Structure 1
Amino acid sequence: MSGFWTAVLLSVVSALCYGAGAVAQRRLADRIGGPFDRRALGALMRHRLWWTAVALNSTGALLHVAALAFGTLTVVQPLGTLALVFALPWAARWAARPVTPREWHGAVLTVIALSVMLVVAPTSAASTLSPATTAAVLAAVLLSVGALVAAAHRIPHPRWSSQVHAVAAGIAFGAASALTKTFTDEIAAGGAAHALTHPAALGTLVLAGAGALLSQASYRGVAVGAPLATMSLANPVAAVLIGMGFMGEEYMGGSWGVGVAVISGMVAIRGVHLLATAADTPGAPPPAAPTPVGALHR
């Protein structure tokens, strides 16, 4: 099998793992009632479905990295958006309902827009983050994520609270990707022992863990499509901003590439809006009521 088709196969399987992980998190969200507080967090950590979701998402990430070893970003990154296409019918089947035309419309718009955005994504980083810059980026991201979480807790409607949590999760995952690039470069330059002394090592773990918990919070009270699409959009945007601001990346095609990315982002936002408001469609089933934490079973 050629490198191209190996990259395609690994990318598709990676998207399947991400989609399955999102569905597992959505099912788990139905079983945790009340606010996402310390009690709910404890129940989450004890539930096998949570660790199944963690394993699926981790496998998806490893396969994504492996795919990049065989293929280019322009092949691998757009195929990653298939996670949304896989997750929608899967989640609908578990909920014993069909995927609505509005959901398919939103998913298609989001996947196409994200694919175009990723194709014109920045070139490889010209430099990595210094320890001081890494610490500053990590602090800024954590402050931004904390502000978004605080804002989400003040939003009474689950739909929009979910979207704010999803934005926060996407930012955390995108920043973790940038720090992972620095960490792997440090391993190549000075070995694993040297890389572990760089703030990127701890920062990657902190942001990845925060992203996992925030993504879980984003699936509560809503269908799987909108939060997954929002995270898929916020993730590359955050990574691009860090890459262009601190790592010397430039958009392919210069200003034209930026223009295409902006238009694609607007189309993706429209797709996310359709997914977020799918429950407003006449005849659409309401989200399942969550089970109280005290009744949660493994």
Structure 2
Amino acid sequence: MHSNLLASAFALISAVLIAVGTVWRHRILRAGQSRSEANTAPLKSLSNLNWWLSMGIAFVAYVFQAAALAFGSLLVVQPILVLSLMLTLLLSSRVERMPMSRAEGLWAVVLTASVAVVVVVGHPLPGTREVAAREWVAVIVLGILVTAGAFAFASRRPAATKALTYGLTCGAIYGYLAVFAKVAMDVLTHRGWLAMLASWQFWAVIATAVAGIVVQQYAFGAGDLATSLPANKVAEPMVALALGYTLLGEEFDVGGWGLALMGASISIMLLSAVKLTRASLR
């Protein structure tokens, strides 16, 4: 059943849970580290019980994201998940006892408004395109090569550059995860649990989730949350929306001027995410 309302509700719950889990994991990874110092062993946090509890929250967030994708398209769900950036920075400011500035408040409003335009005015429709095997292979190979290249580039860079590069890479991986999850949930909706478990996209969801968690550990361990998180939250919707539009055939139910408005709204959404972060760094 297609329902943008249910998809939006589940995506918003997912965004809130993502924010809570993100702030918690970042505090665990940055404990005892200065702002300019990178955590050289980010995977050691896996021995921390609190880290696993925070991952439990992340898992529930993924469940709500999957539920959202069962009812709506990537063009609905991913813009709403971008709100997790605003929610994360807001929660982080509360935890760190640093109130949000007027600039942060302004860009938070702009971000929310642009997301609302995409979801409400755009009337996103689910894709019906059958994706050829060679297209899947090409997209996956490209993703692997870009990820490997990003790690090679970041390995000898300063902490801030590491955080930015790992953040972008993590976002791209989660963009792939969203696409795989959308296909897997469509299989579940139309053919049932057994068919979903037999689909390679379901196992790709698990693989990309693990890869994303590992890269996120490196991103969070490399520096401030305000450096890695925006890169993550900008790259994720860009990759997911691009693949959803070109690969799965999703589209907005609007005409020529409407498409121009959607393009402008998505651009403003991404710009406001960057501006919101810059404001939080001041």
Give the TM-score normalised by structure 1. 0.74
| 3-state SS, counterpart of residue 247 of structure 1 | coil
Whole-Å separation in 1 of the counterparts to 2:87 and 2:254: 31
Give the counterpart letter for 2:18 in structure 1: Y
Compute the displacement of 1:140 (Å).
1.6
Moved more, 218-227 or 133-142: 218-227
2:208 matches 1:207: yes
Q: Within 1, Cα distance between the matches of 2:143 and 2:110?
A: 28
- Per-residue CA distance 1:101-156 (angstroms, 9 max, x = gap): 34334433333334434553852111343444333322221222222333333442
Distance in 2 (alpha carbons) for counterparts of 1:210 and 1:32: 26
* Structure 2 contact 73–250 (Cα < 8 Å) conserved: no
SS at match of 1:44: helix
Please give the residue correspondences for 1:286-297 in structure 2 after superposition, counting only pairs within 5 Å. none
Higher helix proportion (structure 1 or 2): 2
Amino acid at match of 1:63: F
Structure 1 residues 234 and 216 mapped into 2: Cα distance closer, same or farther (>3 Å)? Answer: same
Match among 134, 137, 144 for residue 136 of structure 2 = 134
Q: Could you state the TM-score of these two structures normalised by the residue count of structure 2?
A: 0.78
CA distance in 2, matches of 1:32, 1:265: 38
Distance across 2 between alignment mates of 1:18 and 1:90? 11
Over the matched positions of the two proteins, sequence identity in percent amounts to 22
Q: In structure 1, what residue type is equivalent to 2:138?
A: A
Show the counterpart of 1:292: none
User: Hey, what does 1:217 align to over in structure 2?
Assistant: 218
1:296 corresponds in structure 2 to none
CA 1:165–1:73: 2 relative to 1, 3 Å: closer
* Amino acid in structure 2 at the alignment position of 1:44: S
Partner amino acid for 2:26?
A: R
SS in 2 for 1:219: helix
Residue identity opposite 2:21 in structure 1: G
Structure 1: gaps (5+ residues): 282-298
1: CA distance, partners of 2:70 / 2:186:
15
Match in the other structure for 2:126:
124
The residue type equivalent to 1:263 in the other structure is A
Query: After superposition, where does 1:68-147 map in structure 2 within 5 Å?
Result: 79-119=80-120, 120=122, 123-147=125-149
The structural deviation recorded for 1:8 is 6.4
Cα distance change on mapping 1:137 and 1:110 into 2, 3 Å: same
Asked if the contact 2:18–2:61 (Cα under 8 Å) also holds between the matched residues in 1, the reply is: yes
Cα deviation, residue 257, structure 1: 4.6
Q: What are the equivalent positions in structure 2 for 1:249-268 lying under 5 Å apart?
A: 249-253=250-254, 255-268=256-269
Change (3 A) 1:195 1:280: closer
Provide the residue aligned with 1:29 in structure 2. 29
Q: Helix, strand or coil: the match of 2:125?
A: coil
Structure 2's unaligned 5+ residue stretches are none
For residue 161 of structure 1, what is the aligned residue in structure 2? 162
Task: Tell me the amino acid that sits aligned with residue 18 of structure 1.
Answer: I
Query: Please, which moves more after superposition, 67-76 or 21-30?
Result: 67-76
| CA distance in 2: counterparts of 1:234 and 1:186, whole angstroms | 26
Three-state SS of the structure 1 residue aligned to 2:99 is coil
- Say if 1:157 and 1:268 are closer, same or farther in 2 by CA, change over 3 A: farther
The CA distance in 2 between the partners of 1:7 and 1:242, in whole Å, is: 19
- Partner residue, 1:53: 54
Structure 1 letter corresponding to 2:158? P
- After TM superposition, the structure 1 stretch with the greater mean CA deviation from structure 2, 174-183 or 226-235, is 226-235
After TM superposition, the structure 1 stretch with the greater mean CA deviation from structure 2, 171-180 or 141-150, is 141-150
1:10–1:67 Cα contact (<8 Å) kept: yes
Q: Report the Cα distance in structure 1 between the residues aligned to 2:179 and 2:153, rounded to whole angstroms.
A: 25
Instruction: Work out whether residues 230 and 277 of structure 2, in 8 Å CA contact, stay in contact via their aligned partners in 1.
Output: no
By how many angstroms is 1:92 displaced? 1.8
**Aligned equivalents of 2:86 and 2:264: distance in 1?**
22
Q: Is the 8 A contact 2:15 2:81 kept in 1?
A: yes
Query: How far has the Cα of 1:170 moved from its partner?
Result: 1.6
CA distance in 2, matches of 1:275, 1:107: 7
Cα gap change, 1:262/1:227 in structure 2, threshold over 3 Å: closer, same or farther? Answer: farther
Aligned residues: 276
Please state how far the C-alpha of 1:267 moved relative to its aligned partner. Answer: 2.5
In the TM superposition, what are the counterparts of 1:273-288 in structure 2 within 5 Å? 273-278=274-279, 281=282
Alpha-carbon offset, residue 56 of structure 1: 1.2
